[in-house]
Structure 1
Amino acid sequence: MKLIYVIVRNVDSSRVMEGLNKQGFYVTKLASTGGFLREGNTTLMIGTEEEKVEEVISVVKKECGPRQQIISNPVGPAEYTSMQVLVNVGGATIFVMDVDRFEKI
């Protein structure tokens, strides 16, 4: 048995959860913070058999793959002007851990 932690942007979390649910995976959602753009993150916990780990990762890649976004970056001491910057967003951070025991009550 494996426990998979998937950390995604809040805006991607619904698509990832729906994609995993369609494939029959149960997902627990936890609110979390951090990231380059100081936006909210979501941490998803998925328990599954070892042979299905790659299927989970494949769904995550499909639903929240990396992409580019234009953001306004304030410039100058008074921050009255801004410059648009192209940044990479999306993607996920994934941790796969062994589980010694699992019970569903």
Structure 2
Amino acid sequence: MKLILAILSNDDSPVASNALNKNGFSVTKLATTGGFLRAGNTTLIIGCEDEKVEAAIDIIKEYSSKRTEIVPSTASYDIGRYASFPVEVTVGGATIFVLDVAQFLKV
């Protein structure tokens, strides 16, 4: 048995979790926050049999699109003042961890 932890954008998580549910996967959703952009994410927790891991990953990939966004950034100048200017960054996609499960209980 495996445990899949998938960190997705809040924009992508509803369709990804619905698709996983429709394909027989039980999904637990956690609200999380990314450290780089300090933006809200969703972490999906999925327990599944070893042979179903690739199917779950394929679904997550299908519904986790990468895109670019303009975010404010700060830069310092020599005179000690700070100015904010927009920077284009890639967001979205998914970060997926697959862990071995030593024991699974449903009580």
TM-score, length of structure 1 as denominator length: 0.83
What is the aligned partner in structure 2 of residue 46 from structure 1?
46
- CA-CA distance at 1:29 after TM superposition: 1.0
Q: Is 1:67 the equivalent of 2:67?
A: yes
- CA-CA distance at 1:18 after TM superposition: 1.0
- Is the partner of 2:25 in helix, strand or coil? coil
What is the aligned partner in structure 1 of residue 98 from structure 2?
96
Query: CA deviation digits over 1:31-59, x for unaligned, max 9?
Result: 22223211012111100010111111111
Structure with more helix by fraction = 1
Structure 1: unaligned runs, 5 residues or longer: none
Matched to 2:33, the amino acid is: T
In structure 2, distance between residues paired with 1:75 and 1:2: 44
For these two proteins, the number of residue pairs brought into alignment is 103
Q: In terms of Rg, which structure is larger?
A: 2
- CA-CA distance at 1:6 after TM superposition: 0.6
What is the aligned partner in structure 2 of residue 28 from structure 1?
28
In structure 1, distance between residues paired with 2:22 and 2:36: 30
- Contact 2:8/2:41, CA 8 A, preserved across alignment: yes
TM-score, length of structure 2 as denominator length: 0.81
| Root-mean-square deviation (Å) | 1.9
Query: CA deviation digits over 1:50-69, x for unaligned, max 9?
Result: 01111111111111122222
- CA-CA distance at 1:74 after TM superposition: 5.6
